Amino acid sequence: MRQNLLVLFAAGLLFWSGLAAHLPTLPLYIQEAGANQQMVGIVMGAFAIGLLASRQWLAKLADSRGRKLVLLIGMAAVTLAPLGYLMTQDLRLLIVIRAIHGISIAAFALAYSALVVDFAPPEHRGELIGYMSLVNPTGLALGPAIGGFVQEWFGFEPMFLAAAGMGVVGLLCTAQVRESSVIQRGTAQVNSQFWSLLLDPRIRIPALILLLIGLTFGTLSTFVPLYIQSEGIDLNAGLFYTAAAAASFAIRLVAGPASDRHGRGLFISISLVFYTLSMLLLWQAQSAATFLLAGAIEGAGSGTLIPMMAALMADRSQPHERGRTFGICMVGFDVGIALAGPMLGAFATQLGYRGMFGICVGLGLAAILVFLTQSSKSLACSWRYALGRGRDLYAVSLPQKT
């Protein structure tokens, strides 16, 4: 199993590096193609259209046909999309390519998380998820730094080719991954409804939290490079994402194992505070140091929130439904990212980038309030669970915390 996890880890590292290689430069590329602030947001936000459109199909496919097939679909999308960007600057085509690119995360992240949980003993689930999720911050540290410097030194074309090259190597690694024998497949079970799961109380509130944070994350990933440029700050935008990734890496080393002992709720609450503080700093940012600090704090938030949500959904689901519960919960994040570009981009045209991040502070505060009051079966239970003083009443497969 150890060798298989190492191969899976390598594939994940190449996936996230290739996905993030053009993160700091793609908004600039779109802007050079003639897009205004709102149009940049629309093109970038189209990424989530692919996410949303493919979630249901990919989630069912992961439960019925296995995780590896879905991994391969995700890696293929992350390989081909940069070549699409390279071939055109037509904004309509860029929207289509960006939507196809969104399939990559819908497929790879879902199947990767499900595979890790399949291998993890319940009592060490948070720990293994935390360690295996290190591919995300590591890739998000390497990818933007590599992409940013390649673009600065050589131009957009070599940067897109480098991103596609990472995907090709990732496909070779993914082909070597073997699935866990614990996957339970049953056509009757897998064909159960997908969207109705959003009404399930064990999933509804986590999905709402991810919607609110998805709005802030989508705003950050789309507009930070343009915000830095508009303020005249002497800072490579890729370093903002590198700072975020470094903090995300560090916090995953401790948050996962600690959540197995103290519960997921406390760490989800901490992550939401981190996100809100990061948006507050961006709202007031006037120097490179403030941008980098905001990036680091946001990285700590995302490095805690996403693994904790994956562990929470694993705690609340059976093996045969993990693909669907992960997929439907992450729909909230997808919708947030989809809406962030066009919706917050419209605010940016009226309020400027600074005012836009002020709105994101309010979104973070709303997420904290919702989780503190709605995360469990009653207000009192929610409060205790969110502060790490009560067990998860919806958990079905993890030994209950007493």
Q: Which of 34-38, 254-258, 348-352 has the lowest mean pLDDT?
A: 34-38
- The neighbour count for residue 262, using CB atoms within 10 Å, is 15
Segment 219-225 shows an average pLDDT of: 81
Confidence of residue 181 (pLDDT cuts 50, 70, 90): low
Residue 77 Cα to chain centre, angstroms: 16
Confidence of residue 401 (pLDDT cuts 50, 70, 90): very low
Confidence of residue 192 (pLDDT cuts 50, 70, 90): low
- Residue 394, domain member (yes or no): no
- Residue 200, domain member (yes or no): yes
Structure confidence at residue 211 (pLDDT): 92
List all residues 6 or more positions away from 362 whose beta carbon is below 8 Å from its beta carbon.
Answer: none
- Residue 395, domain member (yes or no): no
Q: What is the pTM of this model?
A: 0.74
Per the structure, how many domains does the chain have? 1
49-68 tens-digit pLDDT = 887 788 878 888 887 788 88
Confidence of residue 272 (pLDDT cuts 50, 70, 90): very high
Question: Is residue 124 scored above 80 in pLDDT?
Answer: no
163-178 tens-digit pLDDT = 899 999 999 999 888 8
Segment 321-344 shows an average pLDDT of: 77
Rounded-to-integer distance, Cα 254 and Cα 240, Å: 23
Rounded-to-integer distance, Cα 222 and Cα 147, Å: 16
Confidence of residue 210 (pLDDT cuts 50, 70, 90): very high
Specify the residue for token string 């903002």: 240
Structure confidence at residue 183 (pLDDT): 53
Q: What is the DSSP annotation of 98-154?
A: HHHHHHHHHHHHHHHHHHHHHHS-GGGHHHHHHHHTTHHHHHHHHHHHHHHHHHHHH
- Residue 393, domain member (yes or no): no
Rounded-to-integer distance, Cα 309 and Cα 133, Å: 12
Domain extent at residue 300: 2-176+194-386
Q: Which of 299-313, 343-357, 377-391 has the lowest mean pLDDT?
A: 343-357
- Residue 379, domain member (yes or no): yes
DSSP annotation of 194 reads S
Structure confidence at residue 193 (pLDDT): 66
Rounded-to-integer distance, Cα 244 and Cα 382, Å: 29
Question: Is residue 157 scored above 90 in pLDDT?
Answer: no
Give the CATH number for residue 240: 1.20.1250.20
Q: What is the DSSP annotation of 281-316?
A: HHHH--SHHHHHHHHHHHHHHHHHHHHHHHHHHHHT
- Residue 25, domain member (yes or no): yes
Specify the residue for token string 């149009």: 39
Q: Are 311 and 326 in contact (CB under 8 A)?
A: no
126-152 tens-digit pLDDT = 788 878 888 877 887 788 778 878 877
Structure confidence at residue 182 (pLDDT): 53
Q: Mean pLDDT in the chain?
A: 83
Structure confidence at residue 187 (pLDDT): 39
Phi first, then psi, for residue 251 (nearest 5°) are: -75, -25
- Residue 400, domain member (yes or no): no
- Residue 187, domain member (yes or no): no
